[in-house]
A and B are shown apart, each in its own frame.
Chain A
Amino acid sequence: MKRKMMALALGLTMVLGIAACGGGSSAPASSSAAETKAAAETEAAGESAEGGNTVVVAMGSGFSTLDPGYVYEKYPPMIVNACYETLFKFYSNDGAAEPNLVDTYEFSEDGLTLTMTLKDGIVFASGNPMTSADVAFSINRCKNLQGNPSFIASTIESIETPDDKTVIFHMNQVDSAILSKLTYSSMSVLDSEVVKAQGGTDAEDAATADTAQDYLNTTSAGSGMYVMTSYIPDQEIVLEKNANYWGQATNVDKFIVKIQPDSNTQMMTLSQGDIDVAMNMTDDTMAELAGNENITLVNAPTKTVGFLMMNMDEAIGGPVSNPLVQQAIRKAMDYTGVQTICGEGAVTPYSIIQVGFMGAKGERAADYQNLDEAKDLLKQAGYENGFDVDLVVTDLDMEGIALTDLAQKVKDDLAQIGINCNIVSSAWAAGYGDDYRDGKLGFTVMYWGTDYNDPNVQLEFLPGGVVGLRAGWTADMDPELAGLFQAAMEATDDADRTAVLEEIQDKTYENGPFLMIAQAPAHIGYNNRLDGVAVSDPYALDLTLINVK
């Protein structure tokens, strides 16, 4: 029976393939008809019964929770950012965190105290005014829930609220990323009165005592531009304008966020005008919309980055632990080709800090590849005739790009200088995951997604850092870089931070076990009637910046 099912499935694949063939030729002819229809429907959608603007957004996957205290997935911040506000915020996708709810802020001399005053006139959707007690409640709740995002508040020792407007953070260590961390959705300020009434608590035993999650999964209790009025898991979420919003609102009255996992569906519904924003386009589906003048396509790099890891421990890495070989590999890679594989909008960062982060030095030079130099380096290392090496790869994908695809590209590039990679696939659950974390892999292609939007997360790639140790790179192997790690953690001033981060990038440009090969791109398609649609790493899409033209 099972075999018959498989035969059927494969047969079906073929039939569909043939059907797609027939459809391919007729697509250009029908697209102009679709455009006029899309235009008509767009107007209809724009003027709903109440005369307000409704915008429909499609995104690829659902999520497990919308309680800010627990959110830790890719898409919830899109909703949380619309319904709640944080003390600081990223207004653009590259740059530093800027004050949002905060009016003024100041670090103490030793960097261990952060004093902030809240803006005047902030009210929650319920009408309650926001006070410093709400801030303390929200952050303590997140910390004490001990959920996935609780570590973000781990450097905050205690929160003092001398009056309604003042919040003082006492830190247990200098944390140069604290402002970025405060932009994270889990640090959203909740309406403590409402949440407490629903069983919420910020006490030490919140992990077991707090019962507000069910409520917050379907209703919002924040001060954001929108309030969540309906949530059907894995189907749609409706956000309506917060009538009590204290700030300057946009002209979109209602967002309907639909969950549509398939990018072909998103492409079709976008071209027909049923949705206004498609979050999960692919190179393939974008090509179908290329001629459609009602639709704009955005390709931009995300901060999810694919990298090569060459273990520094000779017992594990073998030839790739040799710095000369590592440099030869850097010189041999065809970065432009890797970007092509990853899709429109992919970039290769200069070194370990991705393009878009504060202090990032941009991209690795496009003409960096030099096969002659690479061969010379191999010769110096004593591998004139190249060598064979296992390139371990796991069954994961980086924003839809299979790691095995990256591995095949690496194999092809390194073959040109005589390094013969045998691709060994190893399932994440059946060993790869443990081997990777325990630093037992010699040579691998892996990817890294950022926990929060701050360059400090990249410091883990330095000697002695979490990822550094996975490559057998201990702090004593490069004391200078290890020292810069510490300096970067302690610099609180933006200019100082940038200076340290730039030095780190220069020192890892041609040194160390890691080679960042490409940042995965995000592909968003949107209807031209909208303004302000942009790729956003922290929020996936910042709904509060979107206007209808």
Chain B
Amino acid sequence: MGRAIRKMFKSNYLLTAGVIICLFWIIMAILAPAVAPYDPVAQDLGIRLQAPSGAHLFGTDNFGRDIFSRVIYGGRYSLLAGLLTVVIAGAIGTFYGAIAGYVGGQVDNVMMRFSEMILSFPSLILAMIINAVMGSNLFNTMFALIIVAWPTYARLMRSVVLSVRENEYVTASEGLGASRMRILVREIIPNSISSVLIMATTDIGNQILMFSTLSFLGLGSAPPTPEWGMMVSDGVDYFNKFWVAGFPGLAIFTMAVGANFIGDGLRDLLDPRLRKQF
């Protein structure tokens, strides 16, 4: 098993790079209190807007807060938002799509029209409306992102299930008298999940960007939370001080790239048509 994994990483540089980048940020976020040299919300107006130096690796912001510490802590919010949104939206979408695809008929029709209705709203605007109505904090923003994200998973899952349910093993289970629920959970979903998995990894980056965009617009977490998107947004006022927006921007960029690498790598690994290249 260990050997197989080693081989997998060796043959798939994209995946390896993606995993390293993402693990880096995740470990940084988990170990934030140990890694960050300063309290991320402690203000010190005497040293505001200082350029990167030995004492403050990434410089300081408008309130004299250490940007390095804020970027490290910021991962906790941005990554949490990205991962949790994808997991929850992916789970909802998977079951929703699987049920629609497997049951079919009128149920499928009604369920899919409903998800398309949500898809037809511009996603950013919809998220902003949800946020504006419910008030903006970390969880409401995640809720808004989930609402916007799940229909895409549902549609993907349904289309895969439509072909999977025609397989002989499904017919065999039916013939053996397995309940529909059992077939759905034991046969259909496990055999359809790979494409959703690939999409989910790619989506992590997107969700972090989306969350950052909402924070940028003042709809994400409340200040002074060190959230990457909000830090970029704060930095826009200090355009000649590149480090204020630059470093959190770099964090978002690398995390998004890393997650995309994992998605691409997984696709290469799981897609049977591409698999023989390795």
Residues on A facing B (Cβ under 8 Å): 2-3, 6-7, 10-11, 13-14, 16-21, 24, 264, 282, 284-285, 287-288, 337, 340-341, 395, 400, 402, 404-405, 407-409, 411-412, 422-427, 429-431
Contact = CB atoms under 8 A, between A and B. Distances in A.
A3 B242 contact: no
B59 to A, nearest CB: 11
B136 interface: yes
Nearest to A17: B246
Given A10-B232, A408-B223, A284 B240 contact: yes
A340 to B, nearest CB: 5
Classify the secondary structure of B's interface with A: helix
Nearest to A287: B240
Contacts of A427: 132, 136, 218-219
Contacts of B218: 395, 404, 425, 427
A340 B48 contact: yes
B185 interface: no
Classify the secondary structure of A's interface with B: helix
B158 to A, nearest CB: 22
A6 to B, nearest CB: 5
A18 B246 contact: yes
Contact of B210 (A6, A288, A395, A402): A6
A425 B136 contact: yes
B62 A341 contact: yes
B136 A17 contact: no
Contact of B237 (A14, A21, A282): A282
Contacts of B133: 430
Nearest to B244: A17
B132 A411 contact: no
Nearest to A423: B222
A426 B135 contact: yes
B250 A14 contact: yes
Contacts of A13: 232, 236, 245, 249
Contacts of A10: 209, 212, 232, 249, 252-253
B84 to A, nearest CB: 18
A424 B135 contact: yes
Contacts of B105: none
30 contacts: A3-B209, A6-B209, A10-B232, A13-B236, A13-B245, A13-B249, A17-B243, A17-B245, A17-B246, A18-B246, A19-B242, A20-B240, A21-B243, A284-B238, A284-B241, A287-B240, A341-B45, A395-B218, A408-B223, A408-B224, A412-B41, A412-B63, A422-B222, A423-B223, A423-B224, A424-B137, A425-B135, A425-B218, A427-B136, A427-B219
Contacts of B253: 10-11, 14
B122 A24 contact: no
Contacts of B222: 422-425
A405 B43 CA distance: 12
A426 B232 CA distance: 20
Given A407-B223, A422-B222, A427-B132, A14 B62 contact: no
Given A7-B206, A340-B48, A408-B43, 11 more contacts: A7-B205, A10-B232, A17-B246, A284-B237, A284-B239, A284-B241, A285-B240, A395-B218, A412-B224, A425-B219, A425-B222
Interface residues of B, number: 42
Contacts of B43: 337, 408-409, 412
A279 B40 CA distance: 35
A266 to B, nearest CB: 13
B224 A20 contact: no
Contacts of A430: 132-133
A337 B47 CA distance: 12
A6 B213 contact: yes
A411 B224 contact: yes
Interchain residue pairs A-B with the least CB separation, the first 5: A17-B246, A430-B132, A17-B242, A20-B242, A14-B249
B118 to A, nearest CB: 15
A21 B246 contact: yes
A180 B247 CA distance: 50
Contacts of B249: 10, 13-14, 17
Interface in B56-78: 62-63
B103 interface: no
A405 B236 CA distance: 13
B119 to A, nearest CB: 12
A20 B239 contact: yes
Contacts of A17: 235, 242-243, 245-246, 249
Nearest to A400: B237
A470 B222 CA distance: 24
Contacts of A6: 209-210, 213
Contacts of B137: 424
A405 B62 contact: yes
Contact of A340 (B45, B206, B238, B239): B45
Question: Most A CB atoms within 10 A — which of B43, B241, B245?
Answer: B43
Given A14-B253, A284-B237, A427-B132, A341 B63 contact: yes
A340 B45 CA distance: 8
